Amino acid sequence: MSDYKAPLRDMRFVLNEVFQVSRLWAQMPRLAEVIDEDTAAAILEEAGKITGEVIAPLNRPSDEQGCTWSPDTVNAPQGFAQAYQAFAEGGWVGVGGDPHYGGMGMPKAISAQVEEMVNAASLSFGLYPMLTAGACLSINAHASEELKAAYLPNMYAGTWTGSMCLTEAHAGTDLGMIRTRAEPQADGSYKLSGSKIFITGGEQDLTENIIHLVLARLPDAPAGPKGISLFLVPKVLVNADGSLGERNALSCGSIEHKMGIKASATCVMNFDGATGWIVDAPNKGLAAMFTMMNYERLGVGIQGLAQGERSYQNALAYAQDRIQSRAPTGAQNKDKAADPIIVHPDVRRMLLTMKALNEGGRAFSSYVALQLDTAKYSEDATARNRAQELVALLTPVAKAFLTDMGLETTLHGQMVFGGHGYIREWGQEQLVRDVRITQIYEGTNGIQSLDLAGRKIVGSGGALYRLFASQIREFTANASAELGEFTKPLNAAVDVLDELTDWLLDRAQHNPNEVGAASVEYLHVFGYTAYAYMWAQMAGAALVADSSDDFYTSKLATARFYFARLLPRIHSLSASAKAGSDCLFALQADQF
């Protein structure tokens, strides 16, 4: 496996040249105080160093070793504790955290790039700070001032980590079925009892405390999702002076033996009258948890992108070095027995597909991050509302499409390696195993597609879609004639998506199965069109840059590849979606 090198040049290009983020930050006083282009560059440079030099070398050996369970703790692989300490001491856990409680206060557009680097270096490692950052978001947005002051500083500092405890053996997507109970106590605390499964970082030996956010029911709670509350439950109780006290009444019953992310502790957590405190109000738990989950869903999408980037870097290095056969046009390296496999058309197809999907995904994830920043920091109410609506629309696309494309790029990378891609020592098969979970957790991609098609498109009567489509139309209308080779096919793609959206809105009125039957294909048509919008903007930035710079000529060539070879996928996907739901229900359940 090649050494991981953070794609800093491309990150700077997306932020500075495509989206011109410094102009946006200057219009938001709270961000203008903490970030500018030079500060952003310095942060990304340092993040590239620690991820490439400290975390990335642990990826393969930690996969081989995995986590080990004992009745008292879960041991992370060798080197993880030291790497996590270095990561925490650099302030990286709190990079996007509230400065009032010790966070850096960086915008999501910056923390998103850091997340990509960490997860490309090691997805298993990246899960620990990711869950902590997400837990901090929910606590900061919904907990009392007392809880925030008691817990956030140590969490942002990386001294304590966080987890979210949602899933139960019988309740996954349908959280309204959870059975964990919370009994109120005279002192205002609660005693929680129940069992949770699939809890990332539920137990580990990296930090001295773990702060669990646990969904549970109060005794008088109404049935279903409206009766769920959220509780903060520390592994070790915290004394009034901030020191650690007794171990709480909770334990890790076992860890899962997984297909991938083996260095991430995935735990069964048992709460046996554990002491906790309510976050927000009774029966408001799902709303409080979704503050965390919406950020996490973009974060999971970035995980898919990160694995694709690592796969591309490995495959490119291999393709330039491995010699097999001669180029179709004749020998390229006549002094060697064969040519490097990068001369072969199919290898180039795979490499360019990976490059185009990765760079399009980086631009798209950054675009969504900018909407989150605008919704949070803008002083313009109209801009905030528009950004919030775009976040609602694009979050399921970011989670599902980025991770679906992440699997495709890791599979292409594995194929470039041929037989060596199937062998553990080369590292490619680990990327395939690791990235697979990103399509499953934080809501499967089928659920994300249903959220997009059902709640966001049909639920808004198409209004949210029209908001995004009008932005693309405005961009193409104002683009230069020189950009026409990209804006014309982009407009055509929006025409296809317009038609498919109208079809979905119409069919949903007559048959409730149509939305679910078309949703996955609809999301993919949406995703490829959104990437085309990103690629047109990147091409525009490259066209006005230094034409003698290989970076920009490469960017334009990749943009042309995307429009020629990948965007046309929308036509078959649209046809598949319009085939309707009848064929899915032609069989009775006992006929399968």
Verify whether residue 442 is a known catalytic residue. yes
Structure tokens at 486: 């990209």
* CA 190/CA 285 separation, integer angstroms: 14
Q: Which residue of the set 168, 203, 309, 442 is catalytic?
A: 442
Please enumerate in sequence order all residues whose Cβ is within 8 A of that of 581, keeping only pairs 6 or more positions apart, or say none. 511, 513, 514, 516, 517, 518
Q: Which amino acid is at 269?
A: M
Handedness of CA 95, 97, 99, 102 (dihedral sign): negative
DSSP state of 340: B
3-state helix, strand, coil in the chain (%, to 5): 60, 10, 25
Q: Which residues pair with 161 in a beta bridge?
A: 210
Q: Which residues pair with 252 in a beta bridge?
A: 269
Residue pair 416/341 in contact (Cβ under 8 Å)? The answer is yes
Residue pair 74/203 in contact (Cβ under 8 Å)? The answer is yes
Residue pair 265/246 in contact (Cβ under 8 Å)? The answer is no
Structure tokens at 352: 């360019």
Phi, psi of 391, deg, nearest 5: -60, -45
For residue 575, count other CB atoms closer than 10 A to its CB.
11
Residue pair 127/201 in contact (Cβ under 8 Å)? The answer is yes
Q: Give the end-to-end CA distance of the chain in Å, rounded to a whole number.
A: 43
Structure tokens at 525: 């048509």
Q: Which amino acid is at 25?
A: W
Question: Which among 118, 499, 476 has a CA at the least distance from the CA of 310?
Answer: 118
Three-class HEC string of 236-268: EEECCCCCEEEECCEEEEEECCCCCCCCCCEEE
Active site residues: 442
